[in-house]
Amino acid sequence: MIRPKLSPRRPIVVAAAALAGLATAFAASSPALATSPSPQQPASPATQTPSPSAPTPQAASPAPEGPTCVSAADARYTHTFRGKRGEASITLVNGPLCEGEEQAFALVSYVAPSAKVEFPQYVLSKSVDKFTSVAKDEVGTRSTLKFKVEVPTCYTQVDFVFGDKIIDPLTESDLYRNRKVGSPKGIGSHSKGPQAWYNGGSETCEAAPEVVVESDCQGKVTFNLINRNGNAAANFVIATDKGYNKAVTVALRSIEKVELDAAAVDGQITVTANEKSLWTGTQQPPAECQEPEVGEPETSYESTCDELVLLVQNPKNGVSLTSTFTPSTGKPQTVTIEPGTNKSVRFPASKGLTVVVTGDLESAEPIKWTAPISGCDEGGTGGGDQDGGLPVTGAAAGGIAAGAVALLAAGAVLFVVARRRRIRFTS
């Protein structure tokens, strides 16, 4: 048999196919194999089968840095409550609060009308505290808050509530409701534990109100409203007959001051507490503010044949007076007249004599000496002139003297006022 001659192309095609298969197998292998320092021997083209590529391993996510936090709205708590003892505590169980967040709590004791829930109720004692966030530079914050208040021995209510808004007084229309810690719903349900409110006590709460009224020299009045004793708040009312009315509640063992100016308290003032009258009166400045009444000196003068006499009578309630009497001829005389004393200043009679008074006493014009009407040859004395404008006095003219003194008093009265005001001598 004659065989055809083999072509040299066939071995070349077979070799090329084998090389292509090897390249495909290497490309499908894992990167670890591709980078292995010890290369693997390729499998025979006849037995090598490509395997599916393995998934690339994923790097693990880094753990968050620092503690986790919670908003105030999502915060949850547990609490304890001993209302009769006025004690409570609360613990944040899923905190801390995130930065900028906070949650306040308040424990409040009230005096109440009875051991049952009755109103109004007035605050006796309160304790307020809050959870705050952890700042970046802080290690941590408190996880438990503790509270303590005074509980009255009379009828009382004690409430442990979310928030720091204190209601005073409690009334049927203004209550804490679901703000109470341990409430079945609302924000109060965010804490687990016993119901955190208490009603109890064994006697009626009664206040012991007092009032002390003080005035100053400017007309301002201060009402010191005192509730020092008793076991309840005192409800004061300050009212005047001019329409002013102000109500003030004073807690147990407390003092409140109400200051009013004179215009506000003009007229009759009445202070009541718990509907009982405590004080009634009017605004009166202190005694040290009232200027005492100062007596005025009495002054007169008379002309005799021998002299001109100026007389000053200073009453006991007067003030010390110092004046200088200066004659037209002769030496001046300076005298001091103390309260309750009399002084007479004398000058020798001479034609044309005048005296000017200066100082605390002052003459309106120079005081003139005039010869007595009866003439000096008969020994008469007294003041006067030819026109009858001056008084006449003397032992020999008693009847005339009495009338003359009256005329002198009308024409020569001096006036003095408090604190050394100037008084004018009139002739």
> Which residues have CB under 8 Å from 182's CB, separation 6+?
79, 81, 160, 188, 189, 191, 192, 193, 194, 195, 196
Is residue 368 within a helix (H) or strand (E), and if so which, with residue range? strand 367-368
73: its two tokens: 């709205």
Separation of alpha carbons 297 and 168, rounded Å: 64
CA 50 to chain CA centroid, Å, is 91
CA–CA distance, 181 with 195 (Å, rounded to integer)? 7
Cβ contacts of 83 within 8 Å, gap of 6 or more: 151, 158, 160, 196, 197, 198, 200
CA angle 373/377/383 to nearest 5° reads 30
pLDDT reading at 389 higher than 70: no
Please tell me the distance from the alpha carbon of residue 239 to that of residue 220, in angstroms, as a whole number.
15
pLDDT of residue 265: 75
Mean pLDDT for the stretch of residues 407-424: 43
Q: pLDDT class for 166, splitting at 50, 70, 90?
A: very high
% of the chain residues with pLDDT over 90? 47
Please classify residue 305 by burial: count the beta carbons closer than 10 Å to its beta carbon, then call 0-12 exposed, 13-18 middle and 19+ buried.
middle
Provide the pLDDT for residue 210. Answer: 93
- The pTM of the full predicted model, rounded to 2 decimals, is 0.47
Rounded to 5°, angle at Cα 337 from 334 and 342: 115
- Among 140-149, 237-246, 319-328, 415-424, the range of highest mean pLDDT: 319-328
For the chain, give the percent of residues with pLDDT over 70.
71
Indicate if the pLDDT at residue 411 is higher than 50: no
Which segment of 87-91, 194-198, 266-270 scores lowest on mean pLDDT? 266-270
Q: Is 293 helix (H, G, I), strand (E, B) or coil?
A: coil
Could you give the CA distance from residue 129 to residue 62 in angstroms, rounded to a whole number? 37
Mean pLDDT throughout 342-364? 93
Q: Where does the pLDDT of residue 197 fall: very low under 50, low under 70, confident under 90, or very high at 90 and above?
A: very high
Highest mean pLDDT among 32-41, 125-134, 407-416: 125-134
pLDDT in the model for residue 418: 37
pLDDT at 321 over 90: yes
Q: What is the average pLDDT value for the chain, to the nearest integer?
A: 78
Residues 6+ apart with CB under 8 A from 385: 370, 373
Mean pLDDT, rounded, for 115-133: 90
> Would the pLDDT of 413 be above 60?
no
Q: Residue 1: what pLDDT? A: 42
Q: Containing H/E element for 110?
A: strand 102-111
pLDDT confidence of residue 160: 98
Alpha carbon 247 to chain centroid distance? 17
Q: Between residues 292 and 84, which one has the greater pLDDT?
A: 84
